[in-house]
Amino acid sequence: MSKLKQDVFDKAHEMALAATTRKRPTQRSYNDLDKVKITSRPTALQLLHMYKDIHNLFVKHSAALVPRNVCFAQPVGGIPSTFKEELLDGVPVAIPYDKQNLCFFIIEVVIDKDVVFQFPMRFDSMYCCGFRVLELGDDPLEKIWYSFGKVLILPNRLFKNRKKSGLSLAYNNFCKIQIFGGLIAKFCHHFRAFQPLKDDDDNSMAQQFKDSIFFVFSEGSRFWFAMCLSLEGVQCKTVYCVRLTDLMADLIQDYGDTSRLCVYLWLPFLEREMDLAATSLHDKSRFLIYSWLFAKRWKNS
């Protein structure tokens, strides 16, 4: 492959960020965050509406749309016509990662008229980064957020008071993920009086709940197969264990790596069209060879 100039990645990243700022949401404080609501015991159709609202939110803030129809899982009884009428067209391109300007929205689980659970979700990755419970009389600007992983994952300008929950942002065990009709309500019951976990605490049950909620909220919004599994679990009256194939697990765990690999695959075109390479590519048939080499190199890295 032709040798890249040193600033090729910087230029590509700069252009991508510039393109997304056109519709990137302005978020200076908590009050600027969009909210998507769902009940603690949603039906399959209510869960599907949550996925639709998230999709529409991404379309609203995405700087680029792929002109293709979006596939949604089919609940028992089918999808009503009003659902499709409210669905915004196009597949949104996710906002690129920008450490200085991370963008969030909130999934808000309504327990009753006096209590809601809130889950901050990142626009660039769909990661569920933490939670908190808001009760009647609480100040939403002051109430503490519990982060999954490091507290810095929740920027201070949006989430004023933060504590580390002791739960990992990463999955603990795919095989223990369980999706069933009362999953969200059970999570809220388990975490309503939550206190941060210490290093020597047994957090296996809490991590299992967190992994299961993460799968429903994050993976269900990103991957069609995960949405299908989530809807199937919600409609099941007994505990439904989601068992992932190796391909499913790789797709989820390597989501970021796969996205970066796509950038690598586009580099030959970027070199040629923008004259960013020291030597331009002239033989397009060689792209398949480059693709294979990139994939092999990335797999071994």
Tell me, yes or no, whether 47 and 147 share the same domain. yes
The pTM (predicted TM-score) of the whole model is 0.80
Tell me, yes or no, whether 127 and 264 share the same domain. no
Tell me, yes or no, whether 131 and 211 share the same domain. yes
Question: Strand ranges (DSSP E) for 10-81?
Answer: 35-39, 65-66
Tell me, yes or no, whether 78 and 197 share the same domain. yes
Tell me, yes or no, whether 204 and 63 share the same domain. yes
249 occurs within a structural domain? no
| 265: containing domain | 254-300
Residue-wise pLDDT for 125-169, tens only, equals 889 999 999 999 999 999 999 999 999 999 999 999 999 999 999
Residue-wise pLDDT for 205-236, tens only, equals 899 999 999 999 999 998 888 899 899 888 87
9 occurs within a structural domain? no
The Cα–Cα gap between 142 and 125 comes to: 26
Q: Please count the structural domains in the chain.
A: 2
pLDDT at 252 over 80: no
Tell me, yes or no, whether 140 and 268 share the same domain. no
DSSP calls for 200-217: TS--HHHHHHHHHHHIII
The Cα–Cα gap between 47 and 37 comes to: 10
- Indicate the burial class of 215 (C-beta count within 10 angstroms; 0-12, 13-18, 19 or more): buried
5 occurs within a structural domain? no
Tell me, yes or no, whether 202 and 155 share the same domain. yes
Tell me, yes or no, whether 174 and 265 share the same domain. no
Residue 287: pLDDT band by 50, 70, 90 thresholds?
very low
CATH code for the domain of 127: 3.40.420.10
Residue 18: pLDDT band by 50, 70, 90 thresholds?
confident
Residue-wise pLDDT for 164-174, tens only, equals 999 999 888 88
* Interval 29-58 mean pLDDT: 95
CB 52 within 8 A of CB 231: no
Q: Which residues contact 180 (CB under 8 A, 6 or more apart)?
A: 233, 234, 236, 237, 238, 239, 240
Tell me, yes or no, whether 77 and 211 share the same domain. yes
Question: Strand ranges (DSSP E) for the chain?
Answer: 35-39, 65-66, 91-92, 104-112, 115-122, 130-135, 145-147, 162-164, 178-179, 240-241
